[in-house]
Amino acid sequence: MRELLYLEAGILFDGTGTEPVQSAAMLIEQGRVACVGPVGTVPVPPEAAIIDAKNYCVIPGLIDVHVHIHSPGGATADYALAHLIKSQGVLALESYSHALKDLAMGFTALRSLGSPAYVDVAVRDVIRSGSLVGPRLQAAGQGITITGGHMDKAWWVWDLPVPGRTGVADGPWEARQAARAQIKWGANVIKINVCVGEYGSRQKPWKQEMTYEEIAAVCKEAHRAGLRVAGHTAGGPGITDAIKAGVDSIEHGHWLTDEQIELMVEQGTIYVPTLLVNTRSVELGPDQRGLSRKAWDWLKRVYEEKWDTLERAKRAGVKIAVGTDAGFVVEHGENAGELAELVKGGFSPEEALVAATKTGAECLGLEEEIGTLEPGKKADFVIVDGNPLQDIKILSAPDRILAVYMEGKLVASKGEIIGFGKGG
């Protein structure tokens, strides 16, 4: 028997960037969009179940391409120490709980860019099996960094081994091997640490860590396996090396030069500015964040100056996707705050929604499946009380997220997750 749903919405924004449709209708068959358009242009099969959203706005499922699901986020979250004070089982269960918080707020797809002990891979696999309801999840497993790099900090004494948190590699062949290890253990996106901040002079507030040869080795291995590479960056020549070496998305990228922006346009490199994490850090202040004076000065500079990078990247036509760094300072469930930050930085609400839908899907390599409400795509959508095209902050209010659907199935309603998959 065909599974048919017929939805009517007061407003429907399909995520493509075109004008929203007033008094819209959408027909869903077998979990995919069959037809969408103004009421009267979409057939209403007599056997179809009806979703009445005539008083509400319908948007595609939202996408956050930069989270860390093993940590709750917030000022006191033990992001780096989590796997030393909690068992892997606890971490995995908490990771799943964090992913559900994002799902309840309309984020039907997430990209987890690094979790200890491959807990993000485990959560992804259980959701994929159908045993549990959850968002679509891409998982990086361990991020790849150099010895003593950003993801291999010297927090512990030298003779205390701390396995499982990150993949450490020096030189192109070790970098290639590290990428192969992530692929072996189930990663379906590769995360690398290209360059970092909190170093250097006022003129150069960054430090390159991976060499071009190391970055290129990872990219070649990942691309050969059909996976994409996300590069943690701050600024400087490392970003140029990353773009030229084939990194698919530049994460953070506080300081992009015009030359780098031009290269990103040419290469199709996606920019994930992660604005919200900087705003939250500044709001919390140095004491709550436990930052040194040097780190605090650097953080304030990031907050003040990355708006210029965002404006120049947008003007040049760089594709920009929504990523929050949720799990690090930003709490899971407040992901939609990134859209408000984009609007603050000069985006229209429509452009911010495209960044969180269409471009997010492109960043994941899933643009043929999700991201827009077009015929043939999976029917992931959110029913919103109010019009986020007029006030984007509506998406941050839990009571305004009335229902979340994935492939035409209700998975969350007013903040409550519906069902527990095949095993529930």
Residue of 84 and 227 predicted with greater confidence: 227
Give domain limits for the chain: 4-60+372-423, 62-364
User: pTM above the 0.85 mark?
Assistant: yes
- 3-state DSSP call for residue 401? strand
pLDDT of residue 202: 66
Q: How confident is the model at residue 197 (pLDDT cuts 50, 70, 90)?
A: confident
**Is 14 within 8 Å of 372 (Cβ atoms)?**
yes
Residue labelled with tokens 């361990």: 142
pLDDT of residue 423: 39
Contacts of 176 (CB under 8 A, 6+ apart): 217, 218, 220, 221
* Mean pLDDT score, 10-18: 97
Q: Domain 62-364 belongs to what topology? A: TIM Barrel (3.20.20)
Number of C-alpha atoms within 13 angstroms, CB side, residue 330? 26
pLDDT digits over 293-313, tens only? 888 888 899 999 999 999 999
Kindly tell me if the per-residue pLDDT of 95 is higher than 60. yes
Ramachandran assignment for 302, one of left (phi > 0), alpha (psi -120 to 50 degrees), beta (any other): alpha
pLDDT of residue 204: 82
Q: Name the token pair of 87.
A: 């068992």
Going from the C-alpha of 131 to that of each of 1, 118, 128, the distances in angstroms are 23, 19, 8
One-letter amino acid at 283 equals: E
pLDDT digits over 273-292, tens only? 999 999 999 999 988 888 88
pLDDT digits over 19-29, tens only? 999 999 999 99
Sign of the Cα torsion 55, 61, 63, 69 reads positive
Residue of 420 and 351 predicted with greater confidence: 351
Kindly tell me if the per-residue pLDDT of 216 is higher than 90. yes
**In the chain, pLDDT over 90 holds for what percent of residues?**
81
Contacts of 138 (CB under 8 A, 6+ apart): 109, 110, 111, 112, 124, 188, 189, 364
Q: Which CATH superfamily is domain 4-60+372-423 in?
A: Urease, subunit C, domain 1 (2.30.40.10)
Paired with 404 in beta bridges are 382, 412
pLDDT of residue 424: 34
Q: For residue 45, count other CB atoms closer than 10 A to its CB.
A: 13
pLDDT of residue 83: 59
pLDDT of residue 157: 64
Kindly tell me if the per-residue pLDDT of 422 is higher than 60. no
* Mean pLDDT score, 165-175: 87
Selection from 31, 26, 29, 54 nearest residue 41 by Cα: 26
Selection from 111, 116, 117, 70 nearest residue 94 by Cα: 70
**Is 13 within 8 Å of 355 (Cβ atoms)?**
no
Residue 226, phi then psi, degrees to nearest 5: 80, 20
Among 71-85, 172-186, 392-406, 410-424, the minimum mean pLDDT is found in 71-85
pLDDT of residue 88: 86
